[in-house]
Structure 1
Amino acid sequence: MSDSKVETISRLAQWRIDNFGPCTYRRSESFKVGLWNWHLSIEKNRYLYVRLFPSQVEC
């Protein structure tokens, strides 16, 4: 997804999506805030849902 990127600064994460298009679901790449890795998801149906999930730890 070259048209979306998560930028982090200290304790702030900002996800910019330039073109949502006809998609109904988007998931960000993993990003780090503090000691944790996270990803965001957006689902657009009748309502708009924005969710924050911890990413799986890779050993």
Structure 2
Amino acid sequence: MLTWAIIALIIALIAGALGFTGVAAAAGTVAKVMFGIFLVVALVLFVLGAVAV
């Protein structure tokens, strides 16, 4: 999931550099959401792993 967030961020940067502000904003939003989901899942797995030990 982190990989997809990084890909969306790169797309946003390229689109912004080329002047496609709408695409850049959308891709940036997707990157933020995916990164947030990644953080939540990573935190849950970390807590579950700590509880299991």
Query: TM tier, shorter chain?
Result: under 0.3
Normalized per residue, the structure richer in strand is 1
Q: Which of structures 1 and 2 has the larger relative contact order (alpha carbons within 8 angstroms, sep 6+)?
A: 2
Normalized per residue, the structure richer in helix is 2
TM-score normalised to the size of structure 1? 0.24
* Higher gyration radius (CA): 2
